[in-house]
Amino acid sequence: MMIDIQGAFDNVHKETLVGILKKHKLPSTAVRWVHYFVSERSTSLIIDGTPYPNQLIRTGAPQGSPVSPLLFLLYSGPLYKLVEDEGTKIIGFVDDVTISVQGDNLDNNTAKFSEILTKSDEWSRQYTKLDLGDKLNFIHFLNRRRSEIEEPNGDMKAASKTAKLLEITLDQRLSFKVHRKQTEAKALRAIGQMNRNV
């Protein structure tokens, strides 16, 4: 199951982040620095030449800072622990999270995904306000049967024939045929564009 956490850096809440850092027993100097780093930030806009007054930013970690991805990983760390406690494996790259369940029974695996998704959504709403997003995707490998999982809002989501993991398209048989075709098409488009520019 692949989850793209929506607005990852924008939804880091200062108090929750500081609480997580204290729970991990980070030195008080580091905790104070992080508190300062995500506090008292503001933004201003100029639209059609008209400047608008500064607005205080109350949540989020600064975009573009090399520290922000690390802070987000610490912030979302409890989600990883919650999922691992459910007997599954989880890997992530900033806001892209992949959860895997291994088993012989498709229905049991699908039920496990639904349970994990519900618990993850409850945790997110209670502690972090992270939006687990509409970009949820799940796939069964090496199995032709399709199934559905129930999302926290009650909607049913069908298993996909393909899913993207860090920009690599995976298919049910892990043959990488779809990914190869997509990559070849992309390369041909780039070559065509270069030829037009010459």
Mean pLDDT score, 6-24: 85
DSSP string, 108-127: HHHHHHHHHHHHHHHHIIII
Mean pLDDT score, 117-132: 75
Listed by start position, the domains of the chain span: 2-166, 167-197
Contact assessment for residue 71 and residue 61, using Cβ atoms and an 8 Å cutoff: yes
Contact assessment for residue 121 and residue 149, using Cβ atoms and an 8 Å cutoff: no
Within a 10 A sphere around the Cβ of 67, how many other Cβ atoms?
A: 13
Q: Pull the structure tokens for residue 56.
A: 């205080």
Q: Which residue has the tokens 């398209």?
A: 169
Which amino acid is residue 157, in one-letter code? K
Please check the confidence at residue 125 and state whether its pLDDT lies above 90: no
Within a 10 A sphere around the Cβ of 116, how many other Cβ atoms?
A: 21
Over residues 25-47, the pLDDT tens digits come to 999 999 999 999 988 888 888 99
Contact assessment for residue 22 and residue 31, using Cβ atoms and an 8 Å cutoff: yes
Mean pLDDT score, 61-73: 85
Over residues 75-94, the pLDDT tens digits come to 888 888 888 766 688 888 77
pLDDT at 18: 92
For 10-44, letters b (16+ CB in 10 Å) and e give: ebbbbebbbebbeeeeeeeeebeebeebbeeeeee
Q: What is the pTM of this model?
A: 0.62
Please check the confidence at residue 105 and state whether its pLDDT lies above 60: yes
State CA 45 to chain mean position distance. 28
Mean pLDDT score, 165-191: 81
